[in-house]
Structure 1
Amino acid sequence: MSTTGPRKPPLVAPKRTRKAPTKPARKTKSAPRRGRARSSNPIVRFFGGIIRWALRLIWGIGWRLTALVLLVVGSFVAYTYTTLPEYQTLMDGRAKGSVTLLDDKGEVFAWRGDQFGGVVTADTVSRHLKNAVIATEDRRFYLHPGVDPIGIASAIRINLSEGRGPLSGNGGSTITQQTAKLLCFGNAYSESDWKSEADYIADCRRTSLVRKAREAIYAMAMEAKYTKDQILSVYLNRAYLGGGAYGAEAAAQRYFGKSAANLNPAEGAMIAGLLTAPSTLAPTANLERSRNRASVVIGLMRRQGYLSDQETALALANPAELSEAAERQAGGYFADWVMSSGPEFFTRDTTEDVIIRTTLDQRVQRAAEDALTYIFDEKVREGSKAQAAIVVMSADGAVRAMVGGRKTKVVGAFNRATQAKRQTGSAFKPFVYATALELGNSYDSIVVDEPYCLNIPGSGRWCPENYTRNYKGRVTLTESLAQSLNIPAVKISESVGRDLVRKVASDFGIESDLAAGPALALGASESTLLEMTGAYAGILNGGSSVTPYGLVELKLLGEDEPLMGTGGGIGERVIQESAAQELIYMMTKVIEGGTGGRARLPDREAAGKTGTTQAARDAWFLGFTADYVAGVWMGYDDNTPLSGVTGGGLPAEIWQETMIRVHEGLAPKPLPMLRPKPRPAPPRQEPQRRSPLAGNNPIENILRSIFGRN
C-alpha cells in the first residue's frame, strides 16, 4: 500500500559551522582593589603581619578587659546601690548639735556648736544660690553620670601645669562626688572608732587613687539611686559653710538673718563661694575677702547664663551685707561664759539643737565695748600690750555685758573677766568696812592713821604703809575708805577679826582662796572680775549675796517647755540693810572726794572703790549706780607692772565711759544709801586776846590759873 502527499524531511542533525577564532580583548586598566595591596617585599610583609597580629591581640584583650572592668565596677555600683538609704535621712549629718543664744529681748546674738537651720531642697532654696553652687562647683552637673571625665582631665592638666601632682590641688570632683565625701561613703561617725570627730572628718577627706575610685563608685551609685535634685539637696544641707554653719539654711540665717529661700544673687554667690575654703572665706572672719570671692562667683554665673548683664552689674554694685547680729559678733566672751557655765550635755557636748535665753543686753554690751576702745585709742600709748576687762550687771547678779579683752569679736579666747585670777588690792577694802559696820561701828567712827607694825609668826615684823607714805592721824571710817588708807584698814581688820572678814567676803561671793595673814585687808587675795563685780552687787542690793548668772532659760529647738531656768540671782543676807546703806554712803565719798574722782558721773549718784596691787601689776575700779554695777580690771597678762596706772586712773576712766554710755536715756535714780543729817555748827565765840607768849610761859600760866584771866 502506498502513501501519497508531501514527503517529510529526514531527521538529521543540523550542520555545525565552525566559527572563526576571535582575538582576545585587550586588557584595560581595572579599578584599584580595596584595602592595602600586599607588598611584594617579604620583609615588609613579615613585619606588617606582626603588627596586624598585635593589634588583633590588643583589641581582643582590650574589649574583654574593658568588659571585665565594667562588670566589676557595675557589681560594686550595684552593691553600693543596695546600701544607700532614702535620701531624706541624709540631710543632717552632724555628730553634735547646736546652741543658739538669745539676748534679754529674745534676739539672736551668738551661735555655738554645729548650726543646722533646717532642711532645704534644691526646689526651696533661692534659685540664685542653686545656680551659684552649680556654676562654681560643677557646671556639667546635670549632664554626667556622677563622674565627669572632662572635668578630671582638665583638673589633671591644671595640676601638672602648675607643678603639682596629678591629684594635688584641683580634683575635678563633681557635686555628686563631693556629696559622697560629705557622707564619708556611708560610714557614720562613732566615738568608739575615732579619737575625735576631727580625725573622722580628716579621714573622710583624705585623697588617694583608691579613695578616688571608691568615691567614683559611690557617686555613680548615688546617681542611680537618687535624682539630680535629690543629690543637690543633700549637698546643700551637709556642706560646711563656715562660722559653725552646716547647710544653706544655717549659713543664710548666720550671715544674713534670712531664709535660704530669700537670698539675692550677691548673697547666694557669697555662700556658694564659701565651699572652697569655708573657714578662711567666712564673712564673719574677713568680709572683704568673702566679697572678692563672691565677685568671682557672680562672673561665673554670668558666663554660664544664670545672670543677665543687668543682674550682674546690680549684684557687683551691691555686695552682700552681713546681718546686724553677724556683723557685731556681740558678746563673744559672754557667750563663751554661758556655754561653760551650763551643763555640758546641753552646751559644749550637746547632740541636740538647743536655744538658750540669756541676760545679755546688747545695748549695754556695745556701750562697754565702745568705752574700752575709746580709752585705749585716746589715752593709752600706741603699741601697749596692756589688757582690760569689763563686767556690767544688775543688782541681782544678771550679767548685762562682758568684755574679756581688747579684742571684742572673738570666740573661744582667754576671758580675763572670768578666767584671770588677780590680786584685788584696795578694791577688797569695802568688805573690811562692811564687817566693821555689821559689828556696830559707824561711818563716822574714828580710827587713827599712824605708824603701825605687827609681828607675824614665821615671817617677822610687818609694817604696812599708806600709798602716800604719810599719816592722817584721827580719821573717820568714811575718810579712811575714801582716801584708801592702808593702816586704818589693817587696824580695823585686826580688831574685828580676819576670820570674820574672810567670811563676809566669801558670803558676798568671793570664792577664791583668801589670804590668812593681815595683808588680807589690803587685797592680797586673788579673785576674778566677775566675782568682785558680783560681790559689789551684793552691797548695792542691800547686803544679800549674789550669784552672777547669764542663763535665763534653756530649751530644745521646737519644744515649748524649758529644760532648766535661771542659775543664779540673789541669795542669803550677809550684812544688815542698814550696814549696807552706810557702806554705800561711804563709797560715794570715794568718787566725790577720794581716790575715785575720775569715775564721777555728771548726772547721777555713783559709789565705788579703786584698787591697785603691789608694783601696780593690777589696777581695778568697781562701783555702781542705782541701776547697774560695773567692774573694770586692767593689767598685763604676764604680770608686768603697769606704768603710771592706778585704779583711780585709766580703770576709773573706762568705768566712767562705760557707765555714761550705759545710762544714756535713763532717768537718774538715787542710791539706796544712808543720808546723814548735817551736824549743827558749833556756837560762834568771840576771839580772845592773848599775849604773844600765851601758853608758852609756864609762870604766866600758873598765875592765870590762880588769879584768873587778867
Structure 2
Amino acid sequence: MSKKPTTRRPLVADKRYGTKPAAAPKSVSRKKPKPKVRKKAARGGIIGFVVRCVRFVLRLIWRLTWRSAAVVFLLIACAVGYFAMTLPEATALVDGRAKGSVTLLDRDAEVFAWRGDQFGGIVTANTVSSHLKNAVIAIEDKRFYRHIGISPRGVASAVRINLREGRGPLSGHGGSTITQQTAKLLCLGQPFDPAAGLTEAQYETECRRGTLWRKIKEAVYALAMEVKYTKDEVLTIYLNRAFLGAGARGYEAASQRYFGKSAAEVSPAEAAMLAGLLVAPSTYAPTNNLQRSQNRAGVVIDLMEAQGYLSASAAQNARDNPAQLSPAATARAGGYFADWVMQSGPEFFTRNTTEDVIIRTTLDPRIQTAAEEALAYIFENKVREGSKAEAAIVVMSSDGAVRGMVGGRATKVSGAFNRATQAKRQTGSAFKPFVYAAALDLGRGPNDLVLDAPLCLNIPGSGEWCPKNYTEEFEGDVSLTQALAESLNIPAVRLSEDVGRANVRTVAEGFGIANDLADGPALALGASESTLIEMTGAYAGILNGGSSVTPYGLVELRLQGDSEALMGAGGGIGERVITPKAAGELVYMMHQVVEAGTGGRAKLDDRQAAGKTGTTQAARDAWFIGFTADYVAGVWMGYDDNTPLRGVTGGGLPADIWHETMTRVHQGQPATDLPMIIPPKPVVQEPVVQNRANTQGRQGSQGSQGRQGNQRDTAERLLFRILGDILQGN
C-alpha cells in the first residue's frame, strides 16, 4: 500500500527587507482584585448598646422633626392661604369704628371741640407727610419694608428685654412688626358686634390679649396680610386705624385734633409727636400733658436722625421748636359747653351716633375765654388759698343763644359735673325780680310804695312764719325800686301776697323756671330751686322786652359731607310773658340794684348794667345775675356739699366775678344804653300795698313803730355794707 503524500508547507526564505515583524500577541490585562476590607467587629457590651440607642434616638428625632416641620409648614401655609383669601380689599379696612363722631363748630364755623371716635378721612402711605411716614417706621418697625410680616429677631429682642426687666416673656415689649400691629387692630378679622354681649372697651381688650396662642394667630394673620396686600397698603390700614388719644382714630383725625392741620402737612416735630403716641395714646396725648408728649417726640426725633430720615440740622431744629397744640386742642375739647350741647341734642345724632355729625353752635370763643379768665382771676386774688368753693358762669344773648359757659373751677375738662346746667340750688333773692315783674305787669309802678315793717303770716300746717330782712332792720314805706335795690325781704313777701302767689308763679314759669316752685309765701324769697342756665335765661327774657327764652347752643346739625341741615336751633325767643312797659320798668329797677343797691360791685365803668344779687339761707348759695344791653350773664358760687359760705353774699364775690367777666366780654365793644323805662320822680303818697295781715289788726302798732323808729340813712347803711363786703373772704 502506498502512503498518501503529505502536504507540507513550502520552505520560504525569510523576507529580511520590507516586511514588518509579526506583532506579538497582546497580553490580556487583569484588574487587580481590591483588597478585602475587614469589617470592624461591632462593639459589644454596655458602651455599644448605649451608642446604638443614641443613634436610634437621633435618627428618630431627625425623622420626626423634619416630618413635623413639614406638617407645620403645610398647616401654616394653608392657614395663611385661607386668611389671605378671606381678607377684603385694603380700602374696606381703613375705618373700623363702631360709632361715629361729632365735630362742633363755634359761631364763626371754626372747629372747637370733638366728641366720639373721630375719623378725619383716609390718608395713604403716599399722601401722608413723608416726615410722618418716616417717624412711624423709625419708632415702630425700622425693617418694615424688608421683613415678611414677622420679625424673629424683634421677638427675640423683646423677650430678652422683658425677662431682663423682670416681666414675663410675652409681657411688655412685644416685638411686633407694623403688620402684626395692624393685624391686632383688625382683631384678626373679627369686627365688633354689639349683639355679642361685649362692650366696645371689652372687645378691644380681648383683641389686645397677649397669650401665646393669640400671638401665633397674630403671626399667621400678619403673613396672610403680606400675601394679600402690598407694604404700602398695610401701612395705609395702620395709619388710618391706630388710636391716638382724645378720641382720634387714625393720623388724619389726630393731626386735625392736635394741630388743626392735615396729616399731609405736619412738620418733623409734629410728626414725631404723633408717632410717639402709639405706645400709650392716653398717657402721651398732648392734651393731657404737653411736656410729656414733647419729651416722647424727642425720642422719635433721635431715632429718625439715627436711621437717616433727618439730617443733623433738621433734627436739632425739631428739638429746638417742639410741636405746639392748636387753640382748639388747648381748649380741651370744648369743656362744659360742648358737653351741654351733646346732652341737649338728639341722642342718635350725638351721644350714640353711628354717623359723622357736624354741629354748628352759638359759642363765642372770645367770650368763653373771658369767662374762664375772670373766674381764675377772682379765685387767685380774692378767695382764700385752699378754698374748695366752686363757681359757675353762663353768658348768653338776649335771645337765649349761649356764648360761653363755665361749669366749675376746673375749666379744661370733659364729661365733668356741670354746675351751670346740672346743679339745682335755691335761688334766694335772685328770684325777686319775678315778684316785681308780676306786680308791674298788673299795673304797679317803680315809684309805688310798699311797707317794710315786721310781718308774720300763718301757714297752714306749719304755724306762724315771720320773715326778716338781711340787716334785721325796717325801712318803713319804701318804693318798689328801693325795695328791690336793697333786696328787702318783707316788702317782697308783702308784694307777692298782694298780687297773688299764683301770678308770681305764672310769671316765673313763663320766663323758664321749670322746676317745682314753692307753694308758700317763701316763694318770694327764692325758696325754690333752679339751675344757673335757667335763671340766666329768665333774666334774658326781662332784657328782650318780656318774652320767654329757651337757652340754646345748637344752631344746626348735619351729616359730614352733606350740605343740608337735618335740624336747626332748638331754642330762642318764645311767647310774651309780661308787657314791654313792665319789662322796661323792671330793667330800670334792676339798674338801680347796681347803681345804688346791693349789686354795686358789679357796676361797669363804661356802660350801663342791671342785675340782682341772691343769697340763700345760711349763705349756702350766692348769686349775681345781670345784663348789659348786649349780653346776659349769671354767676353762682357755693360748695358742692352745701356747706355754708363764709362771709360771702351775692353782692360780694359773685358780683366781682360778674364784673370781671363782663368787663372782658365788652372790651373793645361800643357801649349801648339799656332798654329801660325811667319813671317820673316819685311823689309822696300813702302806701298802695297793704298786707292782708294788716287788715286783721296784727300789724297796726308794729307798722307804726317801724315807720317812726326804724328809718335809717341809706347812704350810711350802704357804706357799712360795702366795708363788710371788702372784709369778707371765703
TM-score normalized with structure 1 length: 0.90
> Is 2:648 the partner of 1:675?
no
Structure 2, unmatched stretches of 5+, are 16-22, 25-34, 686-730
Residue 359 (structure 1) aligns with: 362
C-alpha distance in 1, partners of 2:511/2:684?
39
Query: Within 2, Cα distance between the matches of 1:116 and 1:372?
Result: 34
1:114 is aligned, of 114, 117, 134, to 117
Contact kept, 8 Å, 1:102 with 1:355, in 2: the verdict is yes
Q: 1:146 offset after TM fit, Å?
A: 1.4
Secondary structure of 2:607's aligned partner: coil
Residue 386 of structure 2 aligns with which residue?
383
Mapping of 1:401-440 within 5 angstroms?
Answer: 401-440=404-443
What residue number does 2:91 align with?
Answer: 88
Specify which of 305, 308, 311 is matched with residue 308 of structure 1.
Answer: 311
Secondary structure (helix, strand or coil) at the match of 2:264 reads helix
Alignment of 1:470-489 (within 5 A): 470-489=473-492
Q: Quick one: structure 1 residues 680 and 460, their matched pair in 2 at CA, closer, same or farther if it must change by over 3 Å? A: closer
- Structure 1 distance, partners of 2:650, 2:333, is 27
- Aligned-pair CA distance for 1:305: 1.7
2:535 is matched with which residue: 532, 535, 552? Answer: 532
Contact persistence 2:99–2:116 (CA under 8 A): yes
Cα shift at 1:53: 2.2
Contact 1:266 1:319 in 2 (8 A): yes
State the distance in 1 between where 2:327 and 2:523 align.
46
Output the CA distance in 1 between the equivalents of 2:485 and 2:601. 13
Contact 1:331 1:402 (C-alpha < 8 Å) held by counterparts: no
CA distance in 2: counterparts of 1:145 and 1:404, whole angstroms = 54
Work out whether residues 598 and 652 of structure 1, in 8 Å CA contact, stay in contact via their aligned partners in 2.
yes
Q: In structure 2, what is the equivalent of residue 584 of structure 1?
A: 587
Counterpart residue number, 1:23: none
Q: Alpha-carbon deviations, 1:618-667, whole Å to 9, x = none?
A: 00000000000000000000000001100000000000000000001111
Given that residues 554 and 564 in structure 1 are in contact (C-alpha distance below 8 angstroms), is that contact kept between their aligned partners in structure 2? yes
1:225 pairs with 217, 221, 228, which one?
A: 228
Query: Match of 1:585, SS?
Result: helix
The one-letter amino acid paired with 1:646 is T
Contact 1:333 1:403 in 2 (8 A): yes
The answer to whether 1:199 aligns with 2:202 is yes
Q: Higher mean Cα deviation, 110-119 or 133-142?
A: 133-142
C-alpha distance in 1 between matches for 2:511 and 2:67: 86
Matched, 1:177 2:205: no
- State whether residues 333 and 414 of structure 2, in contact with CA within 8 Å, keep that contact through their aligned partners in structure 1: no
From the superposition, tell whether residues 679 and 381 of structure 1 become closer, same or farther in structure 2 (CA, over 3 Å). closer
After superposition, where does 1:74-473 map in structure 2 within 5 Å?
Answer: 74-329=77-332, 331-473=334-476
1:76: how far off?
1.2
Matched, 1:490 2:493: yes
Unpaired segments of 5 or more residues in structure 1? Answer: 16-26, 28-32, 683-710
Map 1:537-576 onto structure 2 (within 5 A).
537-576=540-579
Task: State how far apart, in whole Å, the 1-side matches of 2:134 and 2:290 are.
Answer: 22
Equivalent position to 1:662, from 639, 644, 665: 665
Question: In structure 1, how many angstroms separate the alpha carbons of the residues matched to 2:14 and 2:629?
Answer: 162
- Of the structure 1 ranges 170-179 and 114-123, higher mean CA displacement relative to structure 2 is found in 170-179
Runs of 4+ displaced beyond 2 Å: 1-9, 37-53, 328-331, 676-682
Change in CA separation of 1:71 and 1:251 when aligned onto 2, cut-off 3 Å: same
SS at match of 1:262: coil
> CA offsets, 1:241-291, max 9 Å, x none?
001100010011111111101111111110010001101110011000100
Q: Deviations over 1:4-49 (max 9, x none)?
A: 754689xxxx99xxxxxxxxxxx9xxxxx9xxx9997865444333
Q: Report if the CA contact (8 A) 1:159-1:167 is conserved.
A: yes
Q: Deviations for 1:524-549, whole angstroms, at most 9, x for unmatched residues?
A: 00000000000000000000000000
Q: CA RMSD in A?
A: 2.2
Residue 540 of structure 2 aligns to which amino acid in structure 1? Answer: A
| Pairing of 1:27-38 with structure 2 (within 5 A) | none
8 Å CA contact retained: 1:194, 1:200: no
Which residue does 1:606 correspond to in 2? 609
Q: Partner amino acid for 2:129?
A: S
Residue pair 1:397, 1:546 contacting (<8 A) in 2 also: yes
Structure 1 residues 668-677 or 119-128, which shifts more? Answer: 668-677
More off after superposition, 69-78 vs 624-633: 69-78
Amino acid at match of 2:640: D
Count of aligned positions: 661
Q: What is the distance in 2 between the residues matched to 1:555 and 1:658?
A: 33
Q: State the TM-score, normalized to the length of structure 2.
A: 0.88
The Cα offsets for residues 545-575 of structure 1, whole Å up to 9 and x where unpaired, read as 0000000111111110011111110000000
Amino acid at match of 2:250: G
CA positional deviation for 1:334:
0.4
Amino acid at match of 1:335: A
The equivalent residue for 1:56 is: 59
